[in-house]
Structures are given as C-alpha cells and as structure tokens.
Structure 1
Amino acid sequence: MDEPSILLIDDEEAFVTTLQERLEMRGFSARVALDGQSGLDMIAEDPPDVIVLDLRMPGISGVEVLRRIRKQWPGLPVIMLSGHGSDMDFETCVHLGAAMYHKKPLDINTLIESVRTVTQGNQHPQR
C-alpha cells in the first residue's frame, strides 16, 4: 500500500523542511507551504491525502485555513500542530473539524501514526 500524500503548512521553515525530509525518508510524499495562502493554493492545485497544519502563522492563521478547507474540501483530513496552543484552541479546532491536534515538538512516529489513522477513516479528535 502506498503511503498517503501529505501537505505540511507551517511558517517555521527549519522545522517543516526537517519534518518533510523525515517523512520522505519513510516513504511518504510530503510537500511544504510556508504560509496559509500558499497552502490553500497547493490544495486547490493538487489535493493531498492529509494536511498537517500549524495553528499560529502570520497572515492567515491555521484556524482560518482550517475553516476554508472545511468549506471547500470538507472530507480532507487535517491534523493541527501547535507550539503554543491552549485548551480553547483545541476545542475550536475540533469544532471546525480537525481530525487530530498535537503539540510541538512532535515525535515523528506519532505523526506517522496519526496520518495513517486519519487517512484510514478511523479518526476521532484527540491530542
């Protein structure tokens, strides 16, 4: 079975490119967008199987990107990541349809397990 394709949307370039490399070393196809608008454009051009989305970014926030994804691509699984998230952020993201919510730093194996879970339709909102 092929691994799911992943779009990583995060403004922390060093973090997200390292994450991309680690996912690709494990057989995943991973693309990077460094801001919310670029991420939305990439989804429109070639939708991935799953999105890993940072909560806090300059410009369009992760919450707003999640809102827009839900309107245009309601079935697309989104895993939220945050280095500074609160319980309220978690509740907001779950309400908007995030499949999972993790805090940074995140173990690569935990992320891979989450990606596989949400793309197999077994997700329920969790941290």
Structure 2
Amino acid sequence: MNEFSATDTPMTRSIPNISLLVVDDEREFIEIMAQRLNKRGFPVITATEGATALQHLEEGAVDIVILDVAMPGMGGIETLNAIKKRHPLIEVIMLTGQATVTTAVEAIKQGAFNYLKKPCEIDDLIAQVESAMKRRLGRQAKVLEVRMTPYLAPEKRREMIAAILND
C-alpha cells in the first residue's frame, strides 16, 4: 500500500508510463528524487555516475534522463554528449546546484531539453518531463515517417533524419 503526502499525490498525466533515469553523484538526492517520482507513478532507475547511466541506457528502455551537471569523473556535459551520440531520441533534462548561464547555454547547445536549478519543485520537474516526452514522441513519429517514405535516396533519408534529430 502506498502512502502519499499532500505534495506527493499521484497525478493524471497526458502521457502515462514515462520511464526515467536519474543521474546524480549525491546518493541521498537520487534516493529522495526516485521515491518522490515513484510515488507519482514514474518508473525510475538511478545512477551515481555517467558511465553507469550509459550502461543503463544500453540495457533497457528509458524515456527521459534527469542528469546532474557537476559529477566527478564523467561530468554531466560529457555524459549528455555520449547519450545524444548513442541515443539521439532520448531527451535529457539537466539539473544542477551551481547554475551558470554559460553551463546552461552549453547544455542546450549539446542537446539538453532543458536546464533546471536544484532544488526544483517536483511539479516543475514533472512538467518538464512531460514536455520532454511529448517532444521525444513527436521526433520519433517524424523519424518513422521519413523511414517509411518510399523512393527516398538513402543519403536524402539520412539528411532528413539528421535534421529531425538536430531540431
């Protein structure tokens, strides 16, 4: 039986079953975040480093990644680059306790969906997750449409898909 506080009640979502990967080197933070997101109906996997996050992405279905910027070893921007290279349709929401305009701009340039400052309101994060998932589904549909279009030259097909993924 699940117990919910007034601030952690399940909510009706326009897109059900969005699976999340939360990546942060602060164990306590990801445990609390995972618990709060689970209570709201999100399946959550966690990782405390970039390499482990990439391993999780190879092993199973993750829709959206919530990624800390400042981590030892493979940092958030480096992890973001690796995610986008290997899994271009996965949307990444960057979180950080040391927000700077320069880092935010770099994250967005590298393909992050958005950039939020910690601590953020859980409802704001969920709104970003849902927006990111809508974007992902739209991009997936466009890629599928291009792949299913007959009579496209392979080079033109690759060009069109690249344009969708870089949008």
Q: TM-score, normalised by structure 2?
A: 0.71
Q: Tell me what 2:110 maps to.
A: 96
| More RCO (CA 8 Å, sep 6+) | 1
CA shift at 1:22, angstroms? 0.3
Whole-Å separation in 2 of the counterparts to 1:85 and 1:37: 23
Deviations 1:1-26 (A, max 9, x none): 52300000100110111000000001
| Greater strand content | 1
Aligned residues: 122
Does residue 49 (structure 1) correspond to residue 63 (structure 2)? The answer is yes
Percentage identity across aligned positions?
Answer: 34
Aligned-residue CA RMSD (Å): 1.1
Aligned residue runs from structure 1 range 9-88, under 5 A:
9-88=23-102
In 2: Cα distance, 1:47 partner to 1:84 partner:
30
What are the ranges of 5 or more consecutive residues in structure 1 without an aligned counterpart? 123-127
Q: For 2:127 and 2:99, locate their aligned partners in 1 and report how far apart those are by CA, in whole Å.
A: 21
Q: Secondary structure at the match of 1:120?
A: helix
Structure showing the higher helix proportion among its residues: 2
- TM-score, structure 1 normalization: 0.93
Structure 1 residue ranges, 4+ long, deviating more than 4 angstroms after superposition: none
